[in-house]
Amino acid sequence: DGGITQSPKYLFRKEGQNVTLSCEQNLNHDAMYWYRQDPGQGLRLIYYSQIVNDFQKGDIAEGYSVSREKKESFPLTVTSAQKNPTAFYLCASSISGGASDTQYFGPGTRLTVL
């Protein structure tokens, strides 16, 4: 069964902690993305990667970091520098990152700061 998995589904963070969100895909896609979703807003791009060992900042990268050591994995770390991290985080992938490529989304991780 091909698709994108994200874990955990729910995550709670204390002030000053770094947390890592997992994203794995078995679609053999080259490009992967991280988005943040806040209530009443569309998705905003945090980071994206079009190939292994390379990634680029999106519109709201401050306070986040990523790695892309394997084609199928693109973990996102929310650092303590992110002042308002409570949000729904969505990972996506596409075949090559082209403008007309469909992006396929995972089920999301809801992060709450305690």
Partner 1 sequence: AQSVTQLDSHVSVSEGTPVLLRCNYSSSYSPSLFWYVQHPNKGLQLLLKYTSAATLVKGINGFEAEFKKSETSFHLTKPSAHMSDAAEYFCVVSAQSNDYKLSFGAGTTVTVRA
Decide whether 80 or 88 has the Cβ nearer to partner 1: 88
Decide whether 16 or 42 has the Cβ nearer to partner 1: 42
Smallest gap, in angstroms, from Cβ of residue 75 to partner 1? 17
Decide whether 5 or 18 has the Cβ nearer to partner 1: 5
Q: Does residue number 74 form part of the binding site for partner 1 (CB under 8 A)?
A: no
Smallest gap, in angstroms, from Cβ of residue 113 to partner 1? 18
Instruction: Please state, in angstroms and rounded to a whole number, the distance separating the CA atoms of residues 34 and 91.
Output: 5
Q: What DSSP assignment string belongs to 9-51?
A: SEEEE-TT--EEEEEEE-S--SEEEEEEE-TTS-EEEEEEEEE
Instruction: Please state, in angstroms and rounded to a whole number, the distance separating the CA atoms of residues 43 and 36.
Output: 6
Q: Does residue number 22 form part of the binding site for partner 1 (CB under 8 A)?
A: no
Q: Residue from 2, 40, 84, 114 that binds partner 1 (CB under 8 A)?
A: 40
Which of these, 13, 30, 107, 111, lies nearest to 71 by C-alpha position? 30
Q: Does residue number 8 form part of the binding site for partner 1 (CB under 8 A)?
A: no
